[in-house]
Chains A and B, each alone.
Chain A
Amino acid sequence: MTAILECKHLTHYYGKRKIYEDLNFEVPRGRILGLLGKNGTGKTTTINILSGYLKPRAGECRIFGENIQTMSPAMRRNIGLLLEGHVQYQFMTITQIEKFYSAFYPGQWRREAYYELMDKLKVAPGQIISRMSNGQRSQVALGLILAQNPELLILDDFSLGLDPGYRRLFSDYLRDYARAEGKTVFLTSHIIQDMERLIDDCIIMDYGRILTQQPVRRLLDTVRRYTCHVPDDYEPQLPADEFYHPSVLRGVMETCSFLEPADAERRLTELRVPFTRLESEKINLEDAFIGLTGKY
């Protein structure tokens, strides 16, 4: 599998505030990769760097092997960009916007893909986008990306402002399209449930670093939530790379770990944790995310 997108040694600061330092990751061809992180961990920063609208303090990002900062216009042809909030030219109607974009993508523009989606929207062709609901706008933005038919799609928080129906519609439509056409997708969302149905791989970011990057299936297979009883006054002091964000509430300790149940129990014993009744359970992506990044 070749990487369609790779970022090396990314470092960025806003003023003196460090966002991250020496961040490395790559996105293999044909995969849908979700970037998960709490607010302020640099999701938007990363998307901005990837879409060429932020120059990192150090490091570089390459898409199709070309540096984003100096990318040729022709390369952008194969990158579909969805801005946060499905922003599109608000002053255009759905016909005008299609006419506008199609001129930039001769030979690859799939008009019917756009109109197939638009037909479901029940909006008049002459209605301008600013008068549409968030959900309808998201369909316009999606339709335009589908019509553009790019190799790589970069989507910034696609679920923002959408009600559950449209979120589901959006993610299902996108997944089917990407799977069927072998497209590579890099996306963020603040609603993890949507991601679980959609993404193949995930990158979980913590402040200043990447916590883990792996296929979602493998993550959900290996990560477990452990609960056990401990004395009320117990203050957990566990190695952060084995047990994530342990917390004690009314004599019950909760923590997340990639360790197998047997290994976890052995380690807790080795660490002289006064525990009883250790239980483990498989969890969904949202719980895994919270478990790995903490509630605070």
Chain B
Amino acid sequence: MTRLSRFFLYFILVVLAVWQLPWCYAFLTVKAAPQRFVMYSSLLGDFLLTGYEEGIGLTRHDTQGRSYTEQEVDSLLPMFYMRQLVADERFPDSLFGQPVSPREVQQTSFNFRMRPSAVNAPASGIYFLLESRPKRVELQMPDDAFRFTDEGVEFIVMETNTLDAGKSTRFTEALLAKGFRFPPRRVAGNPTTMKEYDNGYLLLDADGRLFHFKRVAGQPYVKALPLPEGVEARHVFVTEFRDHKLLGFLVDSRHRLHVVRADGSIAETGIPAYDPERDDFTIFGNQFDWTVRVASPGMTHYYALRADDYSLLKTFDMPVDGGEIPGLSFTSPYDQYVRPRF
């Protein structure tokens, strides 16, 4: 017993050392990693890197190393610096032979971010289904919440914490009627009123099939969205961008990113790989091109996509100084769980 106790004490000391010492070292030797903001310019046909460098100040250049002034960058990224250009009265009337207006830019620009810590997070299994065609302009949170069971969907009236059996049956039957098999593997939606409109939920059912699920005028709306041949959906994300073109994104088992268009059709993008469980993912989109940033451990990839067919225009990779010291940690920037990991 004494030996076991002593062994256990040593075990604790080793664990604490392996946990705390690398952290102390990292804390003491921390260096601010140079931050770069990278955007694709269709006018230039290249990425523009804006960043701050010790002793030099702000730098702006492209992947070939050519430098640009602030004004030049503004004009090379007219969609992104629209407000600045309008203020300077330099905003162009047309781009690529297409007439553009600030209003149009506002309507078609979006950004989207998905962190691995949001993907790898515990879920309560409680969701809110907003009315997607509200009588008033503003969206409103519903009076009930819903959850999935092995047999169906249940709506619970929040004020009384009781089941709304009628509504539950109606929505369950609507899902079943479209071939939905409970329980769902993934439930994706943005149940918040801080958006312009509501796209409801994208669901992956027990068989991995994709469904669009929302509430329209109080009634269930369910639509099966057939996946292209060979695509096995893993993650879905719902978007509510101003241009109403998309329902959301879908990532398949081979880490390919697809867009789910408003009509339910699915198109593969030119992004070679995105693993939502590991990569920090950002899109800055406008009506001509998307700049996609996929930050993997050790390497940040930048992809430029055409906005119309999502084909790949250009790629730029930037290695990230990992600088991670091996050791034990209990938390991770990649998820919200607490468990030991090396």
A–B touching in complex (CB under 8 Å): no
